[in-house]
Chain A
Amino acid sequence: MHMADALINPAVGGTMWIVTAGLIAYCARKVKQTMNDKLVPMMGVLGAFIFAAMMINFSIPGTGSSGHLGGGLILTILLGPYAAFLAISSVLVVQAFFFADGGLLALGCNIFNLGFFPAFIAYPFIYRAIARDEHGTLRAWIAAIVAAVVGLQLGAFGVVLETKASGISELPFGAFVLLMQPIHLAIGIVEGLATAAVVAFVARARPEALFAARADEESQNSLRPVLIGLLIATVIVGGAASWFASTHPDGLEWSIVKVSGKEEVSGTEDNLHKGLGRIQEKTAFLPDYGFKSTEPEAAPAEKTAAEPEPWPAISAGTSLSGIAGGLITLGLAGLIGFALKARHAGV
């Protein structure tokens, strides 16, 4: 459920970057404080382990299909929340950079969705609460499944919120939720099974390898600052972002308009019309940002109805020249690229 850059707007992507960067800084400090140098190579190697484990499939009991391990929950059980959060982050960084899986702008979102929820919600509040460090028992199996499901549900909901807040996909909120949550319920159960199976094995073969076995008392206590910090950050950022979003639907665009003093050079309509369109767009956007609306279906309906106004009637002439120009520019960019390359080959 990696989000791609193409689905996210800079305001959402940037906000999540800031939140994630703060979390990484905090976790890095925590890891450093443990004074356990061994943790650093361990995080790296276990990150690599997650990659490898994702390639190994098992058959899901009672069905014909197969599944594999997800990353977040097992890493947290093995490394503890702080180290695991960093390890998950770097798994996602490598995926984004080297496998083009998820994008740079979306990196913050992806790390948050796939790292924060399992490490700081599902593990401490669900897994440990249910499993009570009795690895390999039925309790632990149930704990792993429930924790994986909850972690993924939250993560999937995060994807929905972030995508909707970005306003790039047309998918209505309700439909999106209905699409994402059930899929991730299934994925969560599978991930929980896989996680529990591996943890059960490790608990038998080398119990001291599990984080809980060497867990320090403070890890529970020191979770509070993370949550409080995060809550504050969410309120501030959320408040700022929603203000930003509500007054200026397309944050950056708005600021550029302000700087340049005009909308789009190509615009054939007068500014007043556009201005009106913008206002309408804003009002149409608002319900999307207040997700608390009890009937989520209503919001998208309203939105699609209001949509056509903002960018109306691009005249055939403009669009034709747009297409022609676009193709020519693309060709030009390509040509410049190839020319530069050829020059180098020649040298």
Chain B
Amino acid sequence: MSHHLVEVRDLHFTYPDGTDVLKGVSFRITHGESVALVGANGAGKSTLLLHLNGYLTPTRGEVRIGDAPLTRATVVSARRAVGMVFQDPDDQLFMPTVFEDVAFGPLNAGLPPNEIEHRVVSALERVGMSHLRNRPPYKLSAGEKRAVAIATVLAMSPDVLVMDEPSAHLDPRGRRRLIELLASFKHTKIIATHDLEFVVELCSRVIVLDDGKVMAEGPTVELLNDEALMLAHGLERPHSLRHLHPH
């Protein structure tokens, strides 16, 4: 069964305190696609992402990972298929050393020790952080933390990578490295971000979310060039596109 497919159908969600956040979101992301989720603060991006690995349960509608709907019965395999990198790497890195942190997921999956070792080493190599393996995660720089957080997810060999504002707090070089790193992944990627330049470089498709609904959806360049659409949803046309397509 291929897990690379992510589909959301008419998703509604209300927080326990009564905040209506998602009001009927639908989209479909297929194998190997790289899709950006953009929208103003409070649009519901993070909330939406939390549905993709079953952390939040929709009040209405459904999420499908691969060919199966996400239910209590499938949530375990869905979590293995969908790797999630959170907004604040400090929340993601809670073990005493980088190595143990990366090993946390594989350990929970009940893998044999040598397989775990292998996965951790290759995940750290992939993000170029092998030299940090014995360091405590909270002593790393923001960029290093981000890279290690990605490694913790890679070690679970997910089919889909879901990221919430991966370029936040990174300096230009760190950001550049991250872009190169993500571009090298073959995974299906879903990235929620405010960094539209980042989107231009990495994603082929964009979903614009506002007030809990999908406002627009389409190829990156086309959508982000639509000044009126961007302004209407609290966004801004990226500079790089201005240079590419001067009016």
Contacts and interface: CB of A to CB of B under 8 A. Distances in A.
A–B contact with Cβ pairs below 8 Å: the answer is: yes
Nearest to B16: A208
Nearest to B94: A41
Contacts, number: 3
A177 B94 CA distance: 44
Nearest to A206: B17
Interface string B206-227: 0000000000000000000000
Interface string B5-28: 000000000001100000000000
A180 to B, nearest CB: 38
Interface in A198-221: 208
Interface in A159-216: 208
Nearest to A44: B94
Contacts of B94: 41
Nearest to A207: B17
Interface in B94-151: 94
Contacts of A208: 16-17
B112 to A, nearest CB: 25
Interface in B58-104: 94
Contacts of A41: 94
A208 B16 CA distance: 10
A138 B16 CA distance: 29
Contacts of B16: 208
Contacts of B17: 208
B228 to A, nearest CB: 39
A148 to B, nearest CB: 30
A268 B94 CA distance: 60
Interface in A32-49: 41
A47 B112 CA distance: 34
A41 B94 CA distance: 10
A41 B95 CA distance: 12
A288 B94 CA distance: 49
B89 to A, nearest CB: 16
B129 to A, nearest CB: 24
Nearest to A41: B94
A208 B18 CA distance: 13
A41 B91 CA distance: 11
A208 B17 CA distance: 9
A205 to B, nearest CB: 11
A86 B16 CA distance: 28
A208 B94 CA distance: 26
B57 to A, nearest CB: 15
A203 to B, nearest CB: 14
A41 B17 CA distance: 22
3 contacts: A41-B94, A208-B16, A208-B17
Rank and list the top 3 A-B pairs by shortest CB-CB distance, nearest first.
A208-B16, A41-B94, A208-B17
